[in-house]
């Protein structure tokens, strides 16, 4: 168990925008920050971060909460793990008590797999640095590649002993279960035998954006023909190679800062670039580039520079990944190294200044690069040239932005000396085919779901009581402890015996006003979630003079915190759409808090009166004529009340 003092220190120190900024590229939006959702695929930002309230809301998925909730959602941390991650980030010492055996058993399967992976990473590093075999074989190899001690430790590089079960035996001895060793792929089990998957290999731990070890890449150092040169961890509950980029943990901040990501092929390319001084670089780890990997980069920047080896055949094969990048609406540049060179060897032989200068001078727009590369094959061959032009237009057709498509068509026309009209016609044909295919697929899916013809659905009715209760909670969260001047119209009887409204001005805290008014009318919340939040809020506001929303959210159950975040951040959606820029000005409630609070309560009263009148009218139709008289009297009284209420709200009935 982590001590409360540590948890409090973490919440006081951690800055939400800094933590989320490690995973998502955030841009200023008024007093808040906005970015692309890290939980869904989207082109327009719907993810909002409030530094003032220290909460976030993802409007595309509905998720939200505080800094710990983000790490639990995004990185699948447990609560203690999220606290420890933040403590490490902000150099806070973690005080905790020893876990009992029962608590250890309660750790879920994924968590056990993470723990096994972390243990393996430490084991491989210790073997590399502290054993004769590790130093003689593994460390020597890394030194020969030009890696410094600092770089080796930064990337957690290690060595798996050339012994059949060295790692497995040690892990079992330390109490790790064989089932988790097998599920992570670190141990291979065949009948009664078990042995290490990465026996005799130098090890590259593959980390998530937050630095958790998900899996490993292992390189063999012998010339065994039957053994693969590189071996990766198999797919597991924690490692999905198509969704992971090697080096993203070390690169994320540099990618966001530089607003560009260099994409390479291998582990050593990433490491060598980092050592030279270029940190905004990641690798697809030898696998074909996937949409999920591109989306991972897209959260941090819109710009990718793909770096190719000097091998022409490899370059042509890799060009296929560019279309995937373009489909995601990203900007692509391409840079290749001289023949016989790759990013690793080139970075090793050049200084930081020379490397950055080369990248700047040789990075080309994908159209120019593709043309220069494939033009050599099509010289003096009209048929090949036509195929090349069509190939380039196919790439352009993948771009979702219509303006970018037009610019690229013009550029292609200039480079290939083909008329723009022809290119635009070809582009239109390609996009029509794509659109038709999509429509066919949509119709097919629709037909397969259409069992019987359904009637046109009416728009769902707005639940007014839900909205009014929602607004009461919002008022308490935003202004509960604020002292305001309220004006109430008090119902009094004049000399003629008529009921009149007289103004009465008094000062009270917002929560007192809400609480007393709801008590007076015996109003109960109908929404279960609001009932719980209301009770906790009123108690908190009564007990604490200095009420702070961020502190309150940090110390309540996550499910209630998520509800509160949704309530608080709903209005922030206006900022996402920049309504002020379109001369649509949204009135801020803080401009007239007392008016806002009064309006909510009176509207709720009015709604409940309407509801009661409706119930009584139904009763009239069901009863006999004798019973109707008393009910009709009640209806008249409620109608009078409603009339007075409308006067309070300055409305015509």
What gap in Å lies between CA 257 and CA 318, rounded to an integer? 27
| Mean pLDDT, residues 467-473 taken together | 84
Please give the pLDDT value at position 140: 96
Region class of 425: left (phi > 0), else alpha (psi between -120 and 50), else beta: alpha
Residue 579 confidence (pLDDT): 42
For residue range 374-421, list pLDDT tens digits in order.
Answer: 666 666 778 888 888 888 888 889 888 888 899 989 988 888 888 999
Query: What number is the average pLDDT over the span 33-41?
Result: 87
> What's the average model confidence in pLDDT over 229-251?
92
Range in 80-89, 94-103, 644-653 the model is least confident about? 644-653
* HSE (side-chain half, CA atoms, 13 Å) at 249: 17
pLDDT of residue 305 exceeding 50: yes
Local confidence band at 597 (pLDDT 50, 70, 90 cut-offs): confident
Confidence of residue 102 (pLDDT cuts 50, 70, 90): low
Q: Report the alpha-carbon distance of residue 263 to residue 526 in Å, rounded.
A: 54
Q: Can you give the pLDDT at residue 580?
A: 46
Q: Which comes out higher in pLDDT, residue 139 or 5?
A: 139
Instruction: Specify whether the backbone of 588 is left (phi greater than 0), alpha (psi in -120 to 50) or beta.
Output: beta
Q: What percent of the chain has pLDDT over 70?
A: 80
pLDDT reported for residue 612: 73
Residue 193: which residues within 8 A CB-CB, separation 6 or more? none
Whether pTM > 0.75 for this model: the answer is no
3-class secondary structure, 300: coil
Q: Compute the distance between CA of residue 46 and CA of residue 572 in angstroms, rounded to an integer.
A: 10
Q: How confident is the model at residue 501 (pLDDT cuts 50, 70, 90)?
A: low
Identify the weakest region by mean pLDDT among 79-93, 475-489, 499-513. Answer: 499-513
pLDDT of residue 551: 77
Task: Kindly give the residue spans of alpha helices, DSSP state H, lying in 174-288.
Answer: 178-183, 248-258, 267-276
**Beta bridge mates, 189:** 194
Average pLDDT over residues 52-61: 85
**Residue-averaged pLDDT of the chain:** 82
Residue 599 makes CB contacts below 8 A (sequence gap 6+) with 649
Judge contact between 410 and 421, C-beta under 8 A: no
Distance from C-alpha of 387 to C-alpha of 373, rounded to nearest angstrom? 14
| Helix, strand or coil, per DSSP, at residue 222 | coil
pLDDT band, residue 557 (cuts 50/70/90): confident
Tabulate helix, strand, coil % of the chain (nearest 5): 55, 15, 30
Radius of gyration of the chain (CA): 32
Measured between alpha carbons, how far is 420 from 413 in angstroms, rounded to an integer?
6
Of residues 53 and 135, more confidently modeled: 135
Q: What is the dihedral of CA 596, 602, 606, 607, to 10 degrees?
A: 50
pLDDT for the residue 583: 41
285 pLDDT more than 80: no
Q: Tell me, what's the pLDDT at 653?
A: 41
Is the pLDDT score of 60 beyond 60? yes
In the chain, what is the straight-line distance between the N-terminal and C-terminal CA atoms, in Å?
60
pLDDT of residue 472: 86
**Tokens, residue 19:** 């933590």
Asked if 497 contacts 487 with a C-beta cutoff of 8 angstroms, the reply is no
Sheet holding 55-58, edge to edge: 27-29, 32-35, 47-50, 55-58, 64-65
Ranked by mean pLDDT, the top range of 93-107, 115-129, 303-317, 525-539 is 115-129
pLDDT at residue 128 is higher than 80: yes
For 44, the token pair is 């327009």
At residue 461, φ and ψ (nearest 5 deg) are -70, 145
- Show the CA angle centred on residue 332, arms to residues 233 and 269, nearest 5°: 40
Q: Spell out the long-range contacts of 573-581 with Cβ–Cβ below 8 A and sequence spacing 24 or more.
A: 573/48, 573/59, 575/29, 575/30, 575/32, 575/34, 575/48, 576/29, 576/34, 576/45, 576/46, 576/48, 576/59, 578/29
pLDDT of residue 451: 47
Beta bridge partners of 336: 308
Across 514-539, average pLDDT: 81
Contacts (Cβ under 8 Å, ≥6 apart) of 613: 635, 638, 639, 642
Q: Which region among 264-273, 470-479, 522-531 has the lowest average model confidence (pLDDT)? A: 522-531
Mean pLDDT of 324-339: 90
Quote the CA–CA distance of 283 and 630 in Å, as a whole number: 80
CB 341 within 8 A of CB 350: no
The beta strands (E) that lie in 275-433 are given as: 281-283, 303-308, 331-336, 364-365
């Amino acid at each position: 168990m982590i001590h409360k003092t540590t948890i409090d220190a973490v919440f006081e120190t951690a800055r939400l925008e800094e933590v989320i900024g490690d995973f998502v590229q955030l841009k200023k939006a008024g007093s808040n920050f906005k970015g692309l959702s890290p939980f869904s695929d989207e082109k327009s930002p719907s993810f909002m971060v409030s530094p003032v309230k220290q909460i976030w809301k993802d409007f595309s998925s509905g998720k939200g909460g505080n800094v710990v909730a983000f790490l639990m959602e995004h990185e699948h941390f447990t609560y203690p793990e999220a606290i420890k991650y933040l403590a490490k980030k902000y150099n806070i010492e973690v005080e905790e008590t020893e876990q009992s055996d029962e608590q250890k058993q309660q750790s879920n399967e994924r968590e056990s797999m993470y723990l096994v992976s972390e243990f393996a990473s430490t084991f491989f590093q210790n073997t590399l640095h502290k054993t004769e075999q590790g130093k003689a074989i593994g460390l020597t190899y890394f030194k020969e590649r030009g890696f410094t001690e600092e770089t080796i430790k930064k990337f957690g590089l290690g060595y798996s002993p050339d012994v059949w079960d060295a790692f497995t035996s040690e892990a079992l001895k330390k109490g790790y279960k064989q089932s988790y060793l097998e599920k992570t792929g670190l141990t291979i089990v065949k009948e009664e035998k078990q042995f290490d998957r990465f026996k005799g290999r130098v090890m590259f731990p593959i980390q998530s954006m937050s630095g958790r070890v998900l899996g490993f890449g292992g390189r063999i150092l012998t010339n065994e023909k039957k053994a693969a040169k590189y071996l990766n961890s198999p797919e597991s509950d924690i490692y999905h190679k198509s969704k992971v980029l090697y080096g993203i943990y070390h690169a994320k901040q540099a990618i966001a800062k530089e607003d560009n990501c260099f994409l390479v092929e291998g582990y050593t390319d990433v490491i060598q670039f980092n050592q030279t001084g270029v940190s905004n670089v990641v690798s697809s780890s030898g696998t074909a580039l996937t949409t999920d990997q591109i989306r991972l980069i897209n959260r941090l920047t819109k710009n990718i520079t793909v770096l190719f080896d000097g091998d022409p055949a490899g370059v042509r094969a890799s060009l296929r990944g560019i279309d995937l990048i373009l489909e995601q609406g990203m900007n692509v540049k391409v840079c290749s190294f001289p023949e016989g060179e790759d990013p690793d060897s080139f970075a090793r032989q050049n200084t930081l200044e020379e490397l950055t200068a080369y990248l700047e001078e040789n990075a080309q727009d994908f159209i120019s690069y593709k043309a220069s590369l494939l033009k050599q094959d099509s010289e003096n061959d009209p048929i090949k040239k036509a195929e090349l032009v069509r190939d380039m237009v196919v790439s352009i057709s993948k771009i979702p932005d219509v303006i970018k498509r037009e610019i690229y068509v013009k550029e292609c026309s200039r480079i290939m000396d083909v008329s723009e009209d022809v290119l635009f016609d070809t582009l239109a044909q390609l996009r029509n085919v794509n659109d038709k295919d999509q429509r066919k697929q949509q119709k097919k899916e629709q037909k397969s779901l259409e069992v019987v013809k359904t009637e046109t659905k009416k728009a769902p009715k707005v639940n007014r009581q839900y909205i009014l209760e929602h607004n009461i909670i919002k008022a308490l969260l935003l202004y509960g402890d604020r002292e305001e001047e309220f004006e109430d119209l008090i119902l009094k009887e004049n000399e003629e015996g008529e009921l009149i409204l007289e103004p009465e001005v008094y000062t009270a805290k917002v929560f007192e006003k809400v609480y007393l008014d709801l008590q007076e009318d015996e109003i109960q919340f109908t929404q279960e979630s609001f009932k719980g939040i209301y009770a906790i809020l009123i108690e908190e506001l009564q007990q604490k003079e200095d009420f702070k929303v961020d502190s309150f959210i940090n110390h309540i159950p996550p499910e209630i915190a998520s509800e509160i975040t949704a309530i608080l951040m709903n209005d922030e959606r206006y900022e996402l759409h920049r309504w002020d820029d379109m001369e649509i000005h949204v009135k801020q409630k803080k401009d007239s808090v007392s008016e806002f609070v009064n309006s909510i309560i009176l509207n709720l009263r009015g709604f409940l009166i309407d509801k009661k009148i409706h119930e009584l009218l139904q009763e009239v139709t069901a009863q006999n004529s004798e019973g109707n008289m008393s009910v009709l009297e009640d209806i008249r009284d409620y109608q009078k009340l409603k009339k007075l209420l409308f006067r309070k709200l300055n409305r015509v009935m």
